[in-house]
């Protein structure tokens, strides 16, 4: 599996999930644009449904597993895909978790089979598809060497803090491929986004809160805690000298944008660091226009900074 | 099992004496502040089983009290009273009244899964926190937390349509929790969204309710999910000794 990733990831089933259709639109726009530029093909999962996000599990664990398993079943049976790519950490996490639970828990397996039968579609069986994140897709589907050749303008002189959030690496038992050294992703100190943006010319800063939680689960129901957690991240990024924070999750991204504003309003804490999707930065580095990567649709207004640096 | 580490020296357990002489020795004042003797008789022997019956709580019995969960916890770093290991201990001991002292903060777990990654016994403490919050609410110890209300609105919409739309969830949540939609920071946020891309931003935040994402062919899944959720709820009620139909 590891060896022919380049071939396997060339065309993948794309699972945008609800967030990329909603507040995470700039992520969707830039992911599609970057894919197009690199000649990587995305085929949207046919008639997909919500993965359950962070909420459904609290009402019923098995329902969450069913929802995620249906997405994979659709990709296998309707798209005939071998790989499904989810750019949202929540979706990615849930698909991986469903994969784990279906191969480790009898109850999950039985429930998913029962509900799938009643819903009138094939149940998903673990091992039928490989779930990857947008970071895997670009890093291995296109290849780092090839990316170097493709980078036009570059992100030269831009200081970036790479922020991965909590769901990309935790809990580690659902990511069996992580933490094996070599070119595998680390669950303690993830580096795929750092690798890609370094190729694009960015100066990655030492950022200690890479996998800290932004409080996204309670962004509205416990706003004070979320604001505090976001502020920790923003301040750590600034202390590390970052001008922008690169994100790879729509929930983290919206959380950072929202609570940056809230921190200013409620706590008079003004942080200047801009929040940008890593796909937006990659797109710009490859010569795509700010509009093509959806930069104008971000809440965090990074265009003036990027213009001044000659990047946008 | 480690010793129950929270102090019993609490205001309600103290008896202060101004003039107290014992065996000819005056032990009044600060020195003679006695803690009322206490024998624990109010434990709930079923507590662990009840939590285990809630979604996420099923592995609580595995805990060996190493403390890794609390040590790594995101919320604990902000508020030391948020202590998953301690609550798991109380639940396993059946010390319900002690657990209830912290009932108002247990729901604050942000699901970052640091605890679950750190736990050497696969307890899934993150799940136990959610299970405990549910239990508190089902038993009537706490009103429904905003967090649970959000989970319910979200789940209802997914079950109904297969997908959700952020704006609709947000609006219903604000309505159900009596929060004004026009809080200053939200208004600011929307202004910034709108300044970027007027029409699209408006519709994507769902201020217009025209856009209802749906999964087609969802009706059979919807019925199956509703049926399953109802069955599970009934089981949970039964496990808590409540009327399954409640
Ligand atoms: S999931 Fe909850 S209990 Fe666990 S570390 Fe995060 S905040 Fe703490
Ligand atoms: S980390 Fe696991 S075993 Fe250790 S105290 Fe927490 S729940 Fe118990």
CATH number at residue A231: 3.40.50.11810
Inter-CA distances, A26 with A35, A113, B108, Å: 14, 36, 30
Of B86, B113, B123, which is best to mutate to test ligand 2, by the most ligand atoms within 8 angstroms of its C-beta?
Answer: B123
- State residue B180's pLDDT score: 64
User: What is the total count of domains within chain A?
Assistant: 2
Give chain B's length.
246
Whether the pLDDT of residue B187 is over 90: the answer is: no
A143 falls within a domain: no
Question: Searching chain B, which residue's CA lies closest to the CA of residue A47?
Answer: B215
Q: What values do phi and psi take at B85, rounded to 5?
A: -60, -45
Residue A43 tokens read as: 């085929």
Q: What is the C-alpha to C-alpha distance for residues A306 and A6, in angstroms, rounded to an integer?
A: 32
A142 located within any domain: no
Residues A177 and A122 occupy one common structural domain: no
Q: Are the Cβ atoms of B228 and A58 closer than 8 angstroms?
A: no
Considering the domain architecture, whether residues A191 and A71 belong to the same structural domain is answered as no
CATH number (domain holding residue A37): 1.20.1050.140
pLDDT at B210 over 50: no
Question: What is the Cα–Cα distance from A78 to B213, expressed in whole angstroms?
Answer: 20
Q: Where does a domain end: A105, A133, A161?
A: A133
Residues A90 and A178 in one domain: no
Sign of CA dihedral A190, A173, A178, A126: negative
| A139: in domain | no
In whole angstroms, give the CA distance from residue B243 to residue B235: 10
- The angle formed by the CA atoms of residues A269, A275 and A280, to the nearest 5 degrees, is 170
For residues A48 and A86, state if they share a domain.
yes
Which residues are CB-neighbours of B107 under 8 A, at least 6 positions away? B133, B136, B142, B145, B147, B148
Same domain, A26 and A102: yes
Given the structure tokens 């957690």, which residue do they identify?
A229
Specify the residue for token string 């969707």.
A28
Q: Is residue A178 part of a domain?
A: yes
Residue A63: list chain B partners with CB under 8 A: 155, 159, 225, 228-229
Element (H, E) at A285: helix A278-285
Helix (H) / strand (E) element for B22: namely: strand B21-22
Question: Are A59 and B151 in contact (CB < 8 Å)?
Answer: yes
Cα(A76)–Cα(B224) distance, rounded to whole angstroms?
22
Read off the DSSP letter of residue B103. Answer: T
- Annotated domain spans of chain B: 2-35, 46-139, 146-215
Q: In angstroms, what is the span from residue A270 Cα to ligand 2's centroid?
A: 38
A155, A202 contact by CB (below 8 A):
yes
CB of B75 closer than 6 angstroms to any ligand 1 atom: yes
Q: Which residue of B has its CA nearest to A107?
A: B58
Residues A167 and A296 in one domain: yes
Question: Mapping DSSP to helix (H, G, I), strand (E, B) and coil, where does residue A11 land?
Answer: strand
Do A282 and A165 lie in one domain? The reply is yes
Ligand 2 atom, smallest distance to B121 CA: 3
B188 touches chain A (CB under 8 A): yes
Q: How many CB atoms lie within 10 A of CB A153?
A: 15
Tell me which chain A residues have a C-beta less than 8 angstroms from the C-beta of B189.
257-258, 261, 299
Q: Which of A87, A103, A133 is the last residue of a domain?
A: A133
Per DSSP bridges, beta strands B25-26 and B21-22 are antiparallel
Tell me if B157 sits within 8 A of B133, measured CB to CB: no
Show Cβ contacts of residue A56 under 8 Å, excluding neighbours closer than 6 positions. Answer: A50, A63, A64, A67, B151, B154, B155, B158
- The secondary structure element, H or E, covering residue A146 is helix A144-150
* Both structure tokens of A276: 């940008």
pLDDT for the residue A198: 96
Instruction: Search chain B and give the residue with CA nearest A217.
Output: B110
> Does residue A145 form part of some domain?
no
* Ligand 2: residue whose CA is nearest its atom 1: B119
Kindly report the protein residue whose alpha carbon is nearest to atom 2 of ligand 1. B109
Closest listed residue to residue A142, CA positions, set A27, A293, A292, A282: A282
Q: Give the pair of three-digit tokens for residue A44.
A: 């949207």
B202 — pLDDT class (breaks 50, 70, 90): very low
For residue B200, what pLDDT band results from cuts at 50, 70 and 90?
Answer: very low
What span, in angstroms and rounded, lies between the C-alpha atoms of A243 and A160? 6
Same structural domain, A160 and A120: no
> Please, are residues A278 and A197 in contact by the beta-carbon 8 Å criterion?
yes
The C-alpha angle A210, A94, B158, rounded to 5 degrees, equals 120
Indicate whether A222 belongs to any domain.
Answer: yes
Residue B219 scores a pLDDT above 80: yes
Is 90 exceeded by the pLDDT of residue B208?
no
Clarify whether residues A126 and A194 are in a common domain: no
pLDDT of residue B140 exceeding 50: yes
Helix, strand, or coil (residue B183): coil
Residues A183, A296 within the same domain: yes
CB A22 within 8 A of CB A60: no
Helix or strand or coil: residue A12? strand
State the DSSP code for A214.
-
The answer to whether residues A185 and A113 belong to one domain is: no
The CA-atom distances, in angstroms, between A107 and each of A2, A63, A65, B226, B229 are: 31, 11, 11, 18, 14
In this predicted structure, what is the pLDDT of residue B203?
47
Strand segments, DSSP code E, in chain A are 11-14, 41-44, 83-86, 130-133, 159-163, 203-204, 244-247, 274-277
The verdict on a CB contact (< 8 Å) between B221 and A258 is no
Lowest mean pLDDT among A168-172, B41-45, B131-135, B146-150: B146-150
DSSP-assigned states of every residue in A154-193? --TT-EEEEE--STTT-SGGG-TTSS-STTSPPSSS--HH
Residue range(s) defining the domain that contains residue A85:
4-133
Residue identified by tokens 């107290």 is: B20
* B227 contacts: CB under 8 Å, gap ≥ 6: A118
In a domain, A144, yes or no: no
Closest CA to B181 of B147, A260, B189, B200: B189
Q: Under DSSP, is residue B15 helix (H, G, I), strand (E, B) or coil?
A: strand
Residues of chain A contacting B201 with CB distance shorter than 8 Å: 297
pLDDT at A127: 96
Last residue of a domain, one of A74, A98, A133: A133
Using an 8 Å Cβ cutoff, are B117 and A172 in contact? yes
Which residue has better confidence, B9 or B131?
B131
- The answer to whether residues A77 and A203 belong to one domain is no
The tens-digit pLDDT sequence of chain A (312 residues) is 457 999 999 999 999 998 888 889 999 999 999 999 999 999 999 999 999 988 898 889 999 999 999 999 999 999 999 999 999 999 999 999 999 999 999 999 999 999 999 999 999 999 999 999 999 999 999 999 999 998 876 899 999 999 999 999 999 899 999 999 888 999 999 999 999 999 999 999 999 999 999 998 888 788 899 999 999 999 999 999 999 999 999 999 999 999 999 999 999 999 999 999 999 999 999 999 999 999 999 999 999 999 999 998
């Amino acid at each position: 599996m590891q060896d022919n990733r380049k071939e396997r990831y060339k065309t993948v089933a794309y699972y945008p999930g609800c967030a990329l259709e909603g507040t995470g639109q700039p992520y969707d726009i830039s992911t599609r644009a970057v894919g197009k530029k690199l000649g990587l093909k995305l085929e949207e999962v046919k008639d997909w449904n919500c993965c359950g996000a962070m909420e459904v599990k609290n009402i019923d664990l098995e329902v969450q597993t069913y929802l995620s398993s249906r997405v994979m079943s659709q990709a296998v049976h309707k798209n005939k895909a071998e790989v499904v790519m989810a750019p949202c950490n929540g979706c990615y996490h849930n698909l991986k978790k469903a994969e784990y639970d279906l191969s480790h828990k009898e109850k999950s397996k039985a429930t998913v089979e029962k509900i799938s039968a009643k819903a009138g579609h094939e149940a998903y069986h673990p091992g039928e598809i490989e779930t990857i994140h947008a970071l895997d897709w670009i890093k291995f589907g296109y290849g780092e060497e090839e990316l170097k050749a493709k980078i036009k303008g570059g992100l030269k002189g831009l200081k970036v803090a790479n922020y991965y959030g909590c769901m990309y690496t935790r809990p580690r038992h659902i990511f069996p491929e992580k933490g094996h050294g070599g070119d595998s992703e680390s669950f303690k100190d993830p580096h795929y986004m750092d690798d890609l943006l370094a190729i694009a010319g960015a100066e990655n800063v030492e950022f200690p809160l890479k996998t800290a939680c932004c409080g996204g689960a309670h962004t509205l129901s416990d706003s004070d805690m979320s604001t505090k957690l976001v502020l920790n991240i923003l301040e750590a990024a600034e202390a590390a000298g970052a001008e922008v924070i690169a994100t790879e999750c729509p929930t983290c991204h919206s959380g950072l944008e929202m609570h940056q504003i809230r921190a200013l309003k409620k706590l008079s804490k003004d942080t200047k660091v801009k929040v940008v999707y890593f796909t937006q930065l990659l797109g710009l580095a490859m010569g795509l226009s700010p509009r093509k990567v959806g930069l104008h649709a971000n809440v965090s207004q990074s265009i003036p900074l990027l213009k001044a640096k000659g990047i946008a | 099992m480690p010793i129950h580490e929270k102090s019993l020296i609490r205001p309600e357990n103290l008896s202060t004496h101004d003039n107290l002489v014992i065996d000819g020795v005056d032990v009044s004042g600060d020195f003679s502040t006695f803690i009322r003797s206490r024998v624990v008789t109010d434990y709930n022997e079923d507590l662990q089983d009840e939590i285990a019956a809630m979604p996420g709580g099923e592995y609580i019995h595995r805990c060996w009290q190493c403390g890794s969960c609390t040590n790594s916890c995101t919320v604990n770093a902000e508020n030391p009273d948020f202590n998953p290991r301690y609550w798991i201990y109380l639940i396993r001991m059946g010390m319900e009244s002690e657990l209830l002292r912290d009932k108002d903060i247990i729901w604050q777990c942000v699901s970052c899964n640091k605890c679950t990654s750190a736990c050497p016994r696969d307890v899934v403490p993150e799940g136990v926190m959610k299970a405990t919050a549910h239990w508190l609410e089902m038993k009537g110890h706490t009103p429904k937390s905003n967090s649970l209300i959000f989970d319910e609105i979200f789940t209802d919409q997914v079950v109904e349509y297969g997908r959700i739309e952020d704006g609709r969830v947000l609006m219903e949540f604000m309505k159900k929790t009596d929060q004004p939609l026009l809080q200053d920071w939200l208004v600011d946020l929307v202004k910034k969204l709108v300044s970027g891309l007027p029409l699209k931003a408006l519709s994507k935040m769902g201020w217009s309710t025209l856009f209802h994402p749906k999964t087609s062919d969802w009706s059979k899944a919807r019925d199956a999910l509703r049926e399953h959720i109802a069955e599970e709820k009934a089981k949970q009620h039964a496990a808590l000794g409540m009327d399954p139909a409640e």
